[in-house]
Each structure stands twice: as structure tokens, then as C-alpha cells.
Chain A
């Protein structure tokens, strides 16, 4: 089975995210970078599928050269190929990203045949646009469902059942392949790379594609931090001695 995972390199922040002075981006000076969490699960799922039934996992991203680190990370946990649509690394609007990815998928498929399954993260951790996967699927004319937290292949990997969480249970979608899914964390618990996996990933040859994509209609003006809600925290005390005060507070809410 040929599976494509589209991933995004995002900063890994702590309790406070700082914005660059001009508001154009997150100040990542002190931050490491990671793969957007939903997409880590996408890669994990793809790797598990190919580990079970054979096939190949390709990981695709749009970004600056440094986004190669995330492709390598994917390779370190089992992905087979990495493709980078090389940009100057500045943030792209969702339409532009989708156009670039669509072109990349078309080019990859023209060379090596169609992907049976394309996985996106439901939304990126940073900009959270909730649309790139859908746009690519529509452009490719493929079925797409978002919010997926469970995938079962059936009929000799010709179809799949995808689960989406709803209140008190889940919905099931049954799709023929090829298909596109937007997945969410919880789909699986992604593995960490092994040392050998990491070392092997150094040998990954990252294929680079030139972007061919025009800007869409959304333009970032500036990022800013929301006004912090300053809570007047009442410190009820230290240790177990504060239990009575804590229960008083809970009782105020009528919960005791």
C-alpha cells in the first residue's frame, strides 16, 4: 500500500508563546521544533499499516530546508521516503499550501503511481486552519473525512472504515481507496525513534520539489498574545492541611 503523510514543522513551546517584535511569527529563538502532533499520529498509523501489510510510506511537507528535520524524524520512526516542497520558510496561507501540496502529489503520482491513502493532520498545532487536507482532496477529486481517530482496512486493503469521535461514541465512515483522511491525536500512541532508527534516517535522501503555487486570499497581518486573564488565585494552604479549605471551596459550588 502506498501511503502519503503530509506533515508540518511547528515550534514546541512551553507555557508562554512569544511573538517576534514585528508580529510576523512566533519567536522561536528558544524553542525546538517538532512535527504537528496530529501528523505524528498520521505517520505512526501509516508505518503500522505498512508494517502489517507491506507498502511504502512517503512523507511530504512544505517549508524551508530546516523542515527536512521533520522528514528525517518521520524516517526515523519508519517512513520510507521524504519529499520537501522547498520554500523560504515563511508562513503560507492555507490555499497556497494546498495548491503546492496538490501539485506535489500530482507530480509524485505521475512518477510512481497513485497513493492509496493520503493522511493529513486534522489541523496544524500552530496556525490551525482546518482546511489544507480538504482542499488537497477536493483538488484531487478524492473522498476526504476529517477528525479521524481510528482506521481499519478491509477487503484486502481496498476499503477502510474510519472512526470519528462524537459525544458518547463515534461515527463510522466507509471509504473506498484511494482516499484522504484528516486524523487526530489519539489515533495511536506514536513511537519514539530508536537510536538505530535515528541513525538510519540520516541516510534518507530527501527529494526536493520546487513550489509552484500562488498566494490565496488570507494574509497574516500580525500575531499577538491574548490579554491574559489575571486570576486572583486564592491560595488555600499547604499540603494536606489545606484539604478542609479546598472542600469548603468545592462545597460552595454545591458539589459536596
Chain B
């Protein structure tokens, strides 16, 4: 083949919905010299797109999934390759009815039209539903059925018309990388196919269930596993055939049986997420030639489907007499955390992932990746939850992927609490205090791989002292304990000891370290040695990529401390933008260092019991680092520690950085000497939620996302530093534009009672903030005011919410509403800062 494209700017591997849309979107963004490769034939190369049920239920509690789903649905609609069939999620249980109220809330948040139906109303829309077995339904008229194959074809042609080369029936055999630019790094140089070698600058892996196998070729990983979703096509059914349409009735999701019924012309597709998890290794997927149907339409295992059939017949009796004409174990992609894998892979420069993406979000996610490749970060919305860099090494192992995919498969239609914890793969990373915490009855939450005490049962005695009790409604009480509030109040009254081992700590070293740190950070990092800086890192468009602390620990050294949810992304961002002149090296020292937080009015006294240093504000000023020695064990050598006077909870105290090996001795010493001062261990419920919210501190990934800038978040400093930094131009532009359109605010819930007189507690799951008239609040960029964090404020006696509000609604005292479980509760704007100790006197006195 003389016209084989031996050179390309970018090779996209996989011609399913994602790869096709990706070359289309890249072309729209001005890319050329694209090559699209697939080992299968076109238009259906045999991947998951080819057997997808092709419907989109736009409402999802997760912002990324919902908004990219809506975006995708709109793209299908614009191409005229979509029909709004409507869809109903039916409930068979009370718990599900509550969940449907929550769906209504999310629909309101994301601006999707929806309404609840009685069983009779469901039967009016779908007359063959047995209304006897359901309690109600959640109806969404904009549920659509799309033509994913044709959409892929149209998007591919768009690229082809602009010069994109398409190689069908061409298998990728290897991805060649070359070392550099920095030591230990590599970058894409060529894609080896069965038809020849393509030298290329970029490669994108968009090959669905095969993605990890292809990534492995380059020494990278895309943690996903091919999993079975069973589907049976039954028919013919007269009532369906009589519609004369591909889809004439709303799609029904039988949520409590994890099943759906979707008309396909004269028959019904019954699909299931209720069977046992059936996972496959990519090498066990047959080739196009070997497969009886297609590689991802694997042989049906009827025993697994039988219970679903019974339930389907229960809901729609007519299905019982329909013939099972076609039934498959269809493969789709599952990841360890049920989110897609998008973005540049951390292991190999210019190798991108666009995987674990389903038809329902394909076009939108392809657009996000295309923008990311073009502009340095997606513009459509923030995708931190889908960023492939989020995964730690432990999360990329096959054992982990399989365990987690197996655990969440049945939750596809499940009722998943916002704070729900995993059962499998626990205790992957624990701090040095773990056994002590277990003895104290710590209830652990897992933050990605790290176990963190959320509260300690050993503090249950405090409940009586502070007169605290459980919440009234089980849902609000789930994954929550009043002990957290007790720990909070004790910290405010006495002192709390917080395990911060999960902090992710990196070091930039070398003559260029400070200059490079300046380039990453909005705020000035070139401070005196021993000072620290709390700073955002911005995307090129001036939105938040990260929010963390940088410490100048030496002339040529900057320490970066970030949260465990962001460690992977921040580490990658820091490595990815590093100068290539060898002036900076990056080291992850998380494992070497453990951190304890010691806060509360009695914290200085507790620390003074083991430390001779001057711990006054003068000797250890707020924001400073100080090297000290701690006398932990009588007669033993003192322990070296770095004190960082800072607080994320609003009381005086320190983050104490220690060598991991020294951690237990310091824990024991502080617990021992602290006993006289009322010290108690305090969990993440205080550190991450109640203490933080009372102070109005913003959290990356919640309040801080790439759609928002520091001005809106209230994190802009009076002046902008001289040095250049990523996003500076956009940031200056935003500042020049004057007052921000929205401001991050703290709100108090004024009345917690619902219509049944029960006290309800918002969870911080994107509950919409509404005007007194109940209207959604949307700014000129389409950004909706919604709860980004919620939690108790035990010291202020209010349930607290955080949300961006338009400037005109951001004044303290403004009365608004919050929708929770489809009911509106009165809220009041407290302001843009702290509701507790607003002048920070407790921290800085």
C-alpha cells in the first residue's frame, strides 16, 4: 500500500463511538494529519458500540456523568440521529421511591425536565406495565434513543473530509515510545499496526474493552475490565410492532431489579445489571473472525439471566410469551471507581486515554478529550473525576480492578449513598497509627487507597457531654455518626488529634525548583525559606486544577502537600509541566512522611508538654514552618519534627510533619500528655467537613473546579505576582473584567423540617439552590447554583452548605431555598467566609 500513512500528528486507536467522535472533534478544533485505526471492519468494528442499547437517561447524581450525558444527547440530537422516546424509572420499593425523589432533585439541579408518576400514570404512558407491582415512576421526557453507529460514521466522515485517514481491519500490534524528555519519562513515537508503522506525535487509546491491553503495549495502564451486561431481544410483540417505529414507548428502567425494557421495533430488549458480575480478561475476547456474532457479543449464559426474566414478566406479562430471538453476554467497560478514564496517561507523554466511556456519554467525552488535547484542559466541564491520572498504582492492579468492578456492577441501578464506602480492597494504604486507631474503634473511610478514621467509637462518651444523638432519617444517618460532632465540639473546647497520613507530599528539588514552583502556582512561592503558601494551580483557561500548600523548605527545594483525592492528578500535573533542562527533579515522599494535626485551644499546651521550642505566635507564627524536637519517650532520643502552623479546622495548632517511623511514638506521647487537657482523636468528619465548613474553607473537587476561577471562589489575592504561571493570562483577564459574576458562599439551613415534620440533612450531593420562588439559579455561563459541600456546624448550631451564588444573591442574609429529596428547605446566605470565628482570632491569637 503506497498510500499508507507512515506519518501522523495523532493516531486514534478504536473506531467506536468515542474514537469516531474524537477524530471529528479534533478536526473541528483544527487538528490535521489524523489517523483512525481499528482492528475490525467499519461501520461496526465489533466493539461495545455495536451492540449498545443506545439510550440515554440524562439524569445522574454525578455532575460529570450527567452533564456530559446531556451534552452527548444534544450532539446526537443536532445530527438528527436521536429520538426522544422518554423514559421512566419505576420503583417497586419505598427505598426506591425515596431514591426517585433524589433523582428529581438531581434533575432539578442539572435542568433536566422530569416528573414523578403514580403507578396509574406509568401505565398510561406504557400500557403494558403491570402497575400492581410498582409504587411509582420517575419520568424524564428527554430520554433519547440514539444511532451511535451512524453518529460515529458522520463524525468520522467529517474528519475524513478534512484529511483524516481511516485504517479499518488494521490491528495495533505495539505502541513505540522513546525516552525523555526528563529522566525516567517516555513519549509516544510510533504506532505499529498490522498494515505498517505510523510515526506519530500523539496517540489516543479509545478502544473500549481492549484499552488496557493496548495501553500495556506502551508500558501504561488504563484500569478497566471488560464486563458482561446481559441483554435479550424478545419478540415479536404485536403492541410494539403496531407502533411502526423503532421506539414508540418510553424506555422503562425497572430499577429495583436492575433491569431495563427498551422497545426495538417489534420486539423488546431486556437488559440487565442484576446478574452476577462476569468479568473477562481482554485476551479472552475472541477475534472478529472467531466470534459467532461479534467479539463483544459473547455467548449468552442463560442461567445468569433467568431471575431477570421472571422479574421482567412480572412487570410486563406480555414478555413471557415473546420468543428470545437474540441474547448476548455483551461486553462493556468497568473501572475500579465506576468513572471513565480520560486524559493523558501519566506514564507516557502524548499517549491519551478515552476509555470506559459508554454510548450515552461518548460524544461529550470525546469533545472533552479533544479540548484537553488542544487547550491543555477540557472546556466543556471539569472532568477531574474522570481524569485517568487520579489512579494510584494500587488502583491499577488487575486484582483491584476486578474486585471493584465486581463490587459496583450491581450498583449500576443501585441506590448509592454519596458517602458510600467500598467493601472490597480495604486497608491498601494505612498510616502508622492504624493499629492504635483500630483499638480506639475508628470507623474508617477510604480515600482512594488510604484509610482515614472518620470518627472514633472511643469518643462515644462525649455524646452525653454534648447532648448529641442520631439523625432522624436513616438515609441522613447513613455513613454518619454524631460522634463526629462530639469530636468537633471537644476540639473547639479542648484539643483534637487528627491523622493526616494520607496527605500526598512531593518535593521539587534543584536550582530551578522555585522558579518552576512559581510557574505552577498562582501565589508567590519564592518566599523565605521556612514559609509556606496556600495556592491554587490553574488550568490554562484560568480555572482550578489544584488547590494545595507549597512550602519552601530550602533554597532549592519546594514541598507540595495536597489531599489524597488529588494526589495522582497533582503529581502528574507537576511532572508534566516540568522544565526539560534538568534543573528540577520531582520526588514523591508521601511514604517517608506522616502528618498529625493538633488543634484546639489547648493544643499549644499539649504540644508544649513534649516540646521546648517557643510555640507562641511569635515563635511559631501562622503559616510558618519550624523544625523542632519532640520528647516523646523518657530517656529516648527526641523526635525531629517540622511544625507547620496552619489550620483547616479553625483553631490554633499545627500540622506536625514526622518521619513515618517516628509517627507512633509521637501519637502515643500526644495522647498521653493530652489526656490532662481533654485531647481526643478527631476524625475526618471534623477535619474534612464540620471544622472546614464552619470556616468556609474550599475543597478541591467540591467548591473548586475548572469552571470556576479564584475570584469566584474568593481565593484571589489583592495583587497578582510578577512571575508567569499557568493560567495567568486568563486569570488577569478575569480580574480585569471586574467583580465576578458568582461568589462562593456559605449558607445556613434555617429550617431542617420536611413536609412530614422530619429533620433532614443535606448531604452535599449537588442539591440545587433555588430562589424563594423555587427557580433554579443559573449564571450566564450556564453554571448552576448547587450545594458543593454540606455538613454540620456544631459550634454554630446550623447545618451548613456551600454554593456559588450570583453576586446579587451573595449578600449575607439573603433568603433562598435548597432542594433536598425533592423538597425545598429555607436557607440563608451567611457570607463568603467563615460562620465560626470569622476574624480567625482563635487561630492567630
Contacts and interface: CB of A to CB of B under 8 A. Distances in A.
The reply to whether A and B meet directly (CB within 8 Å) is: yes
B324 A193 contact: yes
Nearest to A29: B284
Contacts of B287: 16
A14 B306 contact: no
B286 A198 contact: no
Given A14-B289, A14-B290, A32-B292, A198 B299 contact: no
B302 A30 contact: no
A198 B324 CA distance: 9
Interface in A180-218: 191-196, 198-199, 202
Contacts of B290: 13-16, 18, 30-31
A255 B307 CA distance: 57
Nearest to A27: B290
A12 B299 CA distance: 9
B588 interface: no
Contact of A31 (B299, B312, B313, B324): B299
Contacts of A12: 292, 299
B284 A30 contact: yes
A92 interface: no
Given A29-B284, A31-B299, A196 B320 contact: yes
Contacts of B298: 30, 32
Contact of A30 (B291, B313, B319, B323): B291
A194 B312 CA distance: 13
Interface in A29-86: 29-33, 69
B292 A194 contact: no
A202 to B, nearest CB: 6
A29 to B, nearest CB: 7
B284 A198 contact: no
A176 B19 CA distance: 64
A199 B309 contact: yes
A202 B323 CA distance: 16
Contacts of B232: 195
A195 B299 contact: no
Contacts of B300: 32
From A29, A31, A33, A191, name the one whose CB has the most chain B CB atoms within 10 angstroms.
A31
Contacts of A14: 286, 288-293
B328 to A, nearest CB: 9
A30 B306 contact: no
Contact of B313 (A16, A195, A202): A195
Q: Which of B232, B299, B325 has the most CB of A within 10 A?
A: B299
B367 to A, nearest CB: 30
Contacts of B324: 192-195, 198
A106 to B, nearest CB: 33
A21 to B, nearest CB: 15
Nearest to A193: B324
A99 B321 CA distance: 39
A195 B292 contact: no
A194 B299 contact: no
Interface in B296-343: 298-300, 302, 306, 309-310, 312-313, 319-325
A193 B299 contact: no
A15 B294 CA distance: 10
Contact of B319 (A29, A31, A195): A195
Interface size class, chain B: 20 to 34
B310 A198 contact: no
B308 to A, nearest CB: 10
A198 B321 contact: no
Contacts of A202: 306
A190 to B, nearest CB: 10
B532 to A, nearest CB: 58
A166 B177 CA distance: 64
A9 to B, nearest CB: 13
A90 B435 CA distance: 55
A14 B291 CA distance: 5
Contact of B306 (A13, A194, A199): A199
Given A192-B323, A192-B324, A13 B292 contact: yes
A37 B293 CA distance: 17
B167 interface: no
B222 interface: no
A194 B322 contact: yes
A97 to B, nearest CB: 25
Nearest to A18: B290
Contacts of A30: 284-286, 290-291, 298-299
A194 B235 CA distance: 9
B284 A195 contact: no
A194 B289 contact: no
B124 to A, nearest CB: 25
Contact of B320 (A18, A32, A69, A195): A195
A16 B292 CA distance: 9
B292 A31 contact: yes
A13 B309 CA distance: 26
Contact of A198 (B289, B293, B309, B325): B309
Nearest to B318: A195
Contacts of B353: none
Nearest to A72: B302
Nearest to B235: A192
Contacts of A32: 292, 298-300
Interface of B: 232, 234, 284-293, 298-300, 302, 306, 309-310, 312-313, 319-325
Given A194-B234, A199-B306, 15 more contacts: A15-B288, A18-B290, A30-B290, A30-B291, A31-B292, A32-B292, A32-B299, A191-B323, A192-B323, A194-B322, A195-B312, A195-B320, A195-B322, A198-B302, A199-B313
12 contacts: A14-B288, A14-B289, A29-B284, A31-B292, A69-B302, A192-B323, A192-B324, A193-B323, A194-B323, A195-B234, A196-B321, A199-B310
Interface of A: 12-16, 18, 29-33, 69, 191-196, 198-199, 202
Sorted from nearest, which 7 A-B pairs have the closest CB atoms?
Answer: A32-B299, A30-B286, A192-B323, A16-B289, A196-B320, A14-B292, A195-B309
